[in-house]
Amino acid sequence: MKPLGLPTVRALAPRYGGKTLFYLSSRGGGDGLWRYDGSEATEIWRGAAGALLEPPAVTHDGRRVAVVLRKQGRRTLTLLSSEGGDAQPLAAEIDVTSAASWSPDGKWIAAGGIDAGGPGLFKISVDGGMPQRLMTGTATNPVWSPDGTLIVYTGPVVGALGSLVMVHADGTPAEALNIQVRVGTEHYRFMPDRLQLVYIPTPNQVSPEYFWLLDLPSKKARQLSSVNSRSTRTFDITPDGAHITFDRLKDNSDIVLIDLRQP
C-alpha cells in the first residue's frame, strides 16, 4: 500500500476512465471534479458551479463523465466531456439519490432515484427518451458489470447496513449475493475485464472492514487484504486490474493504492 501522490491537497472518490483518474477535490468551498493523467491534475468542473457530493460516473474509455448536481432541492444528472465541456442535463424527472454507473458500451446510465412512481433503479439512455424503471424500491450506487449483463446495487437498508442486490440489465432478478455494506459508502466495484466483484463487507459496527473478491461464475470469495477500510468511502480498480485505488477520509482524504497481483 502506498499513497498515490496527487498534486492536490485533498482528494476523494476515485474513478478511472481509460488511463485517466477522475476524483473530487476542492480549492475551498464545495468539491469540484478533477482529472489526473499521471503527471498533471486539472480541474474540469469547479465546485463553485455546483458542488459534487457523489463520485463521478466515467465511461470505459474516459471520454464522458456524468455528475450529480443539486439544483432547487433536487439532484439530477449532467453529462460532461472529459475536459469538462458540453454540459448536458439528463433525465431531469429523476431525483437521483446516489452515484451512477455507465454501461460498458457507453449508451446507458444506471442510477437509483425517485420519480413520480416512487423510488427505484433506472436505466437511462444518454441519447434521450424516457428512463426505464428496472426495479422498484430503495436502490443506490449501482455498478454495471464489464460484460453489460448485470447491475449490482444497494437495496433494502436496515439501520446502517444495506444489502447488495444483483439484477440483469433488463431488470429480471439475478442470484442473491448475501453481502451487506455500510450505508453512505460505495464499497463495491467490478473488475475491469471479468465477472468478479471487489467489495468491502460490513459484518457489524465494530469489526474491521477488509477488501474481498467474489468470483461470480464460481461463487467463490476470498479476502484480498488486511487493510482496515472503515475510513474508506469508495474505491476503484485500475484499468489493468492490478491495483485498488481508494480514499481514506480520516487521513485528509488521501487516495492510495493496493497491489492486487498474487504473490
Domain boundaries, given as residue ranges, for the chain: 9-259
- Look up residue 84 and give its DSSP letter: S
Instruction: pLDDT band for 250, please (50, 70, 90 cuts).
Output: low
The pTM of this model reads 0.92
Cα distance between residue 151 and residue 144, in whole Å: 5
Cα distance between residue 26 and residue 11, in whole Å: 8
Cα distance between residue 56 and residue 36, in whole Å: 14
- Look up residue 49 and give its DSSP letter: G
Closest by CA to 241, choosing from 196, 181, 199, 201, is 196
Instruction: Report residue 251: phi and psi, to 5°.
Output: -105, 45
CA 30 to chain centre: 19
Give the containing element (helix H, strand E) for 221: strand 220-223
In terms of DSSP bridges, do strands 132-136 and 140-144 run parallel, antiparallel, or are they unpaired?
Answer: unpaired
Tell me how far CA of residue 198 lies from CA of 34, 89, 186, 221, 252, in angstroms: 24, 31, 11, 9, 24
Closest by CA to 69, choosing from 56, 60, 86, 85, is 56
How many C-beta atoms surround the C-beta of residue 72 within 10 A?
A: 5
Is a pLDDT exceeding 70 seen at residue 254? no
CATH 3.30.360.10 fits 9-259, yes or no: no
Tell me how far CA of residue 42 lies from CA of 21, 23, 66, 235, in angstroms: 11, 10, 17, 20
Is a pLDDT exceeding 70 seen at residue 253? no
Instruction: pLDDT band for 263, please (50, 70, 90 cuts).
Output: low
Quick one: pLDDT at residue 199?
A: 98
pLDDT in tens, 158-203: 989 999 999 999 999 999 999 999 999 999 999 999 999 999 999 8
Sheet (strand 20-25) strand order: 12-17, 20-25, 32-36, 41-45
Residue corresponding to grid cell 489526473: 36
In terms of DSSP bridges, do strands 150-158 and 101-102 run parallel, antiparallel, or are they unpaired?
Answer: unpaired
Cα distance between residue 239 and residue 61, in whole Å: 10
Quick one: pLDDT at residue 14?
A: 97
Cα distance between residue 108 and residue 4, in whole Å: 31
41 or 256, higher pLDDT: 41
Mean pLDDT of the residues in the chain: 93
